[in-house]
Structure 1
């Protein structure tokens, strides 16, 4: 399983960072050849399902995800969202934590991915590509000056 962690510090308040990074349909604007639909509708909560469809024509696949934890930030408390990936191609989980700071917020995104038919020796390449792609998505969603934190390759700090 490929595991990677991305962190960003932003001057945005935690509630605004949360709103932006959990706007599932907005993610598609930053991932090539991908559209996102939310068949269960908004607002997000436990049980919300959204589907990222990536590819062109018959070479496309669906990546359905379900929200299994939904705790928005409030009153100085961190927000936590957990997603389970339940597709026929992409499996795994993701966590998005938004922590309030004195100067804005700290966003931590951890992905654990498995791509069917990809051998385990491909995990480091998958993690590297994922870190780059999802880091760009996170930067675009936060849309403003952000300070990068140290990015690790392993799962750390998951709650």
Structure 2
């Protein structure tokens, strides 16, 4: 298992940051060779399940996840939110969590923390797995938070 943490600050308000970070298919669009499929109907919340599949054609790895904590940000100064995902796969294990908080200057601070394990990968490779995760998910987070006119 490997643990890593990424943080970013964005000029976006907390509600927009939350909307972007809980757009599960958008996550897959930001990670190379990955597609995300939501398995539960309706709006996201506790119990929402989805699978991120990374690979080419029939060769790939599934990363099934379930939302186990869902606290959207409120309004106003100091608004904060947190979402936790449990990885439910046979190959990919662990959890991911993002937190966000409105800052006094109007920006939003985001922290992404993940503990990830891949069955069959030796423990000694943990630092390499964490470094790769930090790089890949840092880029994905940057893209999810990038300013896009609506």
Q: TM-score, normalised by structure 2?
A: 0.92
CA apart distance, 1:8: 0.3
- Correspondence list, 1:10-29, <5 A: 10-29=10-29
Counterpart pick for 1:143 among 136, 143, 146:
146
Equivalent position of 2:125 in the other structure: 122
Counterpart pick for 1:134 among 132, 137, 143:
137
Cα distance in 1 for partners of 2:92, 2:42 equals 23
**SS in structure 1 at match of 2:129:** helix
Size of the aligned set, in residue pairs, is 145
Equivalent position of 2:49 in the other structure: 49
Equivalent position of 2:67 in the other structure: 67
Cα distance in 1 for partners of 2:60, 2:27 equals 17
CA apart distance, 1:59: 1.6
Cα distance in 2 for partners of 1:64, 1:21 equals 17
Q: Does the alignment pair 1:107 with 2:126?
A: no
Q: Which has the higher contact order (CA 8 A, sep 6+)?
A: 1
Question: Which consecutive unaligned segments of at least 5 residues does structure 2 have?
Answer: none
Root-mean-square deviation (CA, aligned residues, Å) is 1.3
Q: Does the alignment pair 1:98 with 2:100?
A: yes
Cα distance in 2 for partners of 1:105, 1:31 equals 23
Q: TM-score, normalised by structure 1?
A: 0.87
Runs ≥4 in structure 1, deviation > 3 angstroms? Answer: none
Question: Which consecutive unaligned segments of at least 5 residues does structure 1 have?
Answer: 145-159
